Amino acid sequence: MEAGERYVRRPRLIELNLLPEEYRPHPWRRVIYVSLIALILAGAGMLYPLYMWTATNEGYAAQAEAAITLKQQQIASILANPQVTGLLSAIAQAEKELADYTMYSLLYPTWSDKLQTIRDMVPPGITIEEVSQDGYLIAVRGTATADNVLVDYGRALDDTDLFSLISFSFTEGTGAVIFEFTLELASGGGG
């Protein structure tokens, strides 16, 4: 030591329990602070992919909107063409006529379908002698070789979506059963 220097003695260790709580060292606080800072930085870093995804989608949306606008302009220019306007009016007229035909066909049934169905469903053992029509009623008269064949034929006609069986009568003759079915066309004319 030199002449003018004073010897400074190192202080002894401080008893930490004597210090107030706010001055005592807390080793876990540093860990918590560092973890909190890392968590904040990680959260901020996770926003970057979200931002990139949003920006990319906005770019795609802008491209799609531009394409839609272009197509709408093309459609408008096509619709302005007088030839196309004439074709569109012809299509509208054809759709109207088709709707009228559909309504007509529902109101007035095509009898050929109904008569063909009556004829096609005749099982062996049944002979149709007469088919008559009055409004929406159809009368089928004929002969059958047995009762069970006649009942099966009546049920088959009733099971179609074209008719509903209103009445059924038969009389047993010599060697044959004489029958008459009265059928009503299903609602809407069946077709």
Name the residue range of residue 140's domain.
111-190
10 Å Cβ neighbour count for 185? 19
> Which of 37, 57, 80 corresponds to the end of one domain?
80
- Whether this prediction's pTM lies above 0.85 is answered by no
93 in any annotated domain: no
CA 143-165-128 angle, 5° bins? 20
pLDDT digits (tens, 9 = 90+) for 126-185: 888 998 888 778 888 998 888 888 888 888 888 887 877 778 788 887 778 888 888 887
> Which of 80, 98, 119 corresponds to the end of one domain?
80
167 in any annotated domain: yes
Q: What is the CATH number of the domain that holds 141?
A: 3.30.1360.100
- Number of domains into which the chain is organized: 2
Exposed / middle / buried, residue 114 (Cβ in 10 Å: 0-12, 13-18, 19+): buried
pLDDT digits (tens, 9 = 90+) for 26-50: 778 888 888 999 999 888 888 888 8
